[in-house]
Amino acid sequence: MIKRVLASKYAIAFKHSVKQEEVSVSFETLISILENIVNESDVFEFFKSPIVDIKRKTESLDKIIERIKVSEKINNFLQLIISKNRLEILPELIAELKNELNVVLNQVEVKCYTAVDLTDEIKEKIKKTIKTFTDKKIVVDFIEDPELLGGFRFLMDNKLYDGSLKNALYKIKSYSDSL
């Protein structure tokens, strides 16, 4: 919980440090860099390690930054995270940066679970259905879940909308058990 709050403060501070017209590109670049660090377990462990001194971490980050050519704002932000020894919050920071980016872009991320792989045509129909639940632009991630049996369920704004066959059968069973 504390990590999430701290990550949120850093994400908001970063948003306020970049120009409005650069927010989208800056956020996407920073998220990409942080995801690469977190996904490379050896690199992440190196940066998190209390044994490695901050100077060495900074030098290593400088080498990475030099190769990928990022803006001064992103470089300064990454240096701040290292100097304050906040690398343990990177996973939470990535999530908060994505949340802030979604707010700026007026979009919402949706996880849609289906029993089978769907055709593009059916995916578009489902997207249109999901779009009726929000005024925001939607970014849908389709995930196969064979346990659903049929239909689909989606998670948007921490709310689960369940139109799956599994849920329908569960409701029928619960109703018949109550008789």
- Model pLDDT for residues 36-82, shown as the tens digit of each residue: 889 988 888 888 888 888 889 888 888 888 888 888 899 899 989 98
Domain residue limits at 74: 2-104
Of 55, 74, 104, the residue at which a domain comes to its end is 104
Q: Are 33 and 106 in contact (CB under 8 A)?
A: no
What is the reported pLDDT for 113? Answer: 94
Is residue 81 domain-shared with residue 145, that is, in the same domain? no
Are residues 149 and 63 part of one domain?
A: no
Give the percent of the chain with pLDDT over 70. Answer: 100
SS3 159: strand
Tell me the backbone φ, ψ of residue 159, rounded to 5 degrees: -120, 135
Within 10 Å of residue 140's Cβ, how many Cβ atoms? Answer: 18
Among the candidates 61, 84, 104, a domain finishes at 104
More confident residue, 167 or 27: 27
* 139 and 160 fall within a common domain: yes
Same domain, 96 and 138: no
Q: Which long-range contacts (CB under 8 A, 24 or more apart) does 55-60 make?
A: 57/82, 57/87, 58/82, 58/83
Are residues 99 and 115 both part of a single domain? no
Average pLDDT (123-151) is 92
Instruction: Kindly report the length of the chain.
Output: 179
* Domain final position from 85, 104, 123: 104
Nearest residue to 65 (alpha-carbon basis) of 75, 79, 55: 75
Same domain, 112 and 97: no
Number of domains, the chain: 2
Amino acid at 104: V
Percent of the chain with pLDDT over 90: 50
pLDDT score of 116: 92
Average pLDDT, the chain: 89
